[in-house]
Structure 1
């Protein structure tokens, strides 16, 4: 198993964290889960793997803080502050295994949204060559280009609508 990451756009933080325990990929009106514009990934974490795509897109050097993440859920102000508090958490606490929701910076959105369509194949090729993808075999089916296009498209739609990008993750 791995960690699943769902990138989506939302009008604001309140909209982004509605029903945080539910996937962003499945709308369910009976549970109050709205329909999100989402790109589902496995193993594409926002800090390292997506961060490298953002660096390539913006033609800047990669740095750990490049994506500019703000943790929204579980709320940072309620996080355990000591070993004793961690040990006292119930097994199903989101602080233990998630889910988690993060807001990505406007700069991240804009770097992705600003990629010229003509650069997308080269961008996907650069991204596919990072160390974190070294265990993948040949990309004959064009998955990396498709994923790159999906993430850039999501960023463009977010920018056009005055929204930010968010990441929902779950083990």
Structure 2
């Protein structure tokens, strides 16, 4: 079945934490609550894979990115470990928001060949995912919000 990751935007950590209790994530809120602006992705985690993407987009070392205190910061995880919410670093949101279409296509190929994709991901599909994430980041940065990730096993 796989692990699902929904990347979404919110104004504060508390607002993002509310999503943890939504059984189907940020796109399926409880009645009377608005869904979060989000991108649903299967299998692309906020720590390793997004750290690699940020390294490709910025030219910074992967180790420097993943060593930052704000990188894929765990806000909460369920007792059973089946759901979690992570905060993504604002530096990543800014780098995503600044990425142009050409840059996205340029990083999709080396990203597709990383160990985490077993070297055989489709660069065109990854470019589409990064474009969707970039659009989410543009909206977040433009409204002084942050990016988050909801994970479900």
Identify the TM-score tier after normalising by the shorter chain. Answer: 0.7 to 0.9
The offset of 1:136, in angstroms, is 3.7
Report the Cα distance in structure 1 between the residues aligned to 2:82 and 2:76, rounded to whole angstroms: 9
Residue 97 of structure 1 aligns to a residue whose secondary structure is: coil
Report the Cα distance in structure 2 between the residues aligned to 1:152 and 1:159, rounded to whole angstroms: 10
Task: Say which of 136, 143, 153 aligns to 1:154.
Answer: 136
8 Å CA contact 1:58, 1:112 repeated in 2: no
2:46 pairs with 1:46: yes
2:84 pairs with 1:100: yes
Aligned residues: 148
Report the Cα distance in structure 1 between the residues aligned to 2:127 and 2:38, rounded to whole angstroms: 17
Long gaps (5+) in structure 2: none
Report the Cα distance in structure 2 between the residues aligned to 1:29 and 1:19, rounded to whole angstroms: 13
Structure 1 segments of 4 or more deviating over 4 A?
none
1:95-148 superposed Cα distances (whole Å, 9 cap, x missing partner): 2223111111111111211213321111111211111112646x28x3111101
Q: TM-score, normalised by structure 1?
A: 0.78
Root-mean-square deviation (CA, aligned residues, Å) is 1.9
2:71 pairs with 1:120: no
